[in-house]
Amino acid sequence: PPRVPAVPAAAGGDLSPLTLLLTLAYFVPLLGAARRDLCYRGALWAAAATCLLSLSRSWPLSMATLKDARLWKCDDMQRLPLLLLLSLFPPLPFILVPPAAYALHHSLSRAHARSLLTKLPAAVRERAIWVLGEEGTHTTLAFAAISDLMVGLTAPFLAVSHGLRIVPPLLLHLKYVAKSHATSWYMQTAVETVRLKLDSLFHHRRCPAPVSAAYVRCAGLAASAARLLAA
C-alpha cells in the first residue's frame, strides 16, 4: 500500500459532518421512517457536494484543467456522477458506506486540527487518533473498497429485487469499481481477497464438479466484463 494514503475528497471535508449526520439519520431513523428516503438522498447530495468542493479546491478552473486526463481519472471526479445518479433511484443502503467512512475520517481530521479531540474521553480519543494514523487510514480505505466491491458483487440480486429501473446506477457503479481496480491498491486487494475466498469454496474437493465448472465460467465472464467496463 502507499506509505501515506490519501483519503478521497479530503479538500472538501468541511461538509463531512453533514454526510455523517444524514447517513446516521437514514440507518437510525431519528427523523422518522417517513423521512428516511430524504435522508438517504441528502447523504448522497452532501457526499457529492464534498467531491465537488474538493475538486474546486484541488484543481484550478481553466481549460487546461478540463483537458488534463488526471482530472477525469481522480476518485472525486469518478464518484461525483455516480452519487448524483444514485440519488434519483430507490435506496441502496450499502452505497452510503464508503462516503460515510471517508466523512468520518475527514471529520476526525478537522476536529483534531482544531484540538477538539482533547475534549473526548480518553478511550474514544485514542481510537479517534488511531483512525487518523497510518494504520487507521489504511483500514478506512480498505473498508470503503470492500464496501464498493460488495455492492458490485450483489448487483444481479439488487437488479432482481428492485427491477430494471435500478440497472443504470448499478452499471455506473460497476464501471466505477472496474476503473478503481485499475488504479487502486485497496480495490485490487479487495478483489483478490474475495477471489481467493471463492476459489477455496468452489474448488474444494467436496464441491461438485459441475458447480466448480460453472464458477470458473462465471469468473471468466466477470473478468471480461470488468475489462470492458474499465476501458
R_g (Cα) of the chain, nearest Å: 19
Q: Alpha carbon of 195 to those of 170, 188, 189: distances in Å?
A: 21, 10, 10
Which pLDDT band holds residue 33 (cuts at 50, 70, 90)? Answer: confident
Helices 16-27 and 36-58, interaxial angle, to 10°?
160
Query: CA-CA distance, 146 to 8, in Å (whole number)?
Result: 15
**2, pLDDT greater than 70:** no
**1, pLDDT greater than 80:** no
The pLDDT of residue 139 is 92
Segment 132-153 shows an average pLDDT of 91
Dig out the grid coordinates for 135 from the structure: 494504520
Work out the burial of residue 6: count CB atoms within 10 Å of its CB; fewer than 13 is exposed, 13-18 middle, 19 or more buried. exposed
Using DSSP's 3-state secondary structure scheme, residue 162 falls into: helix
The pLDDT of residue 9 is 83
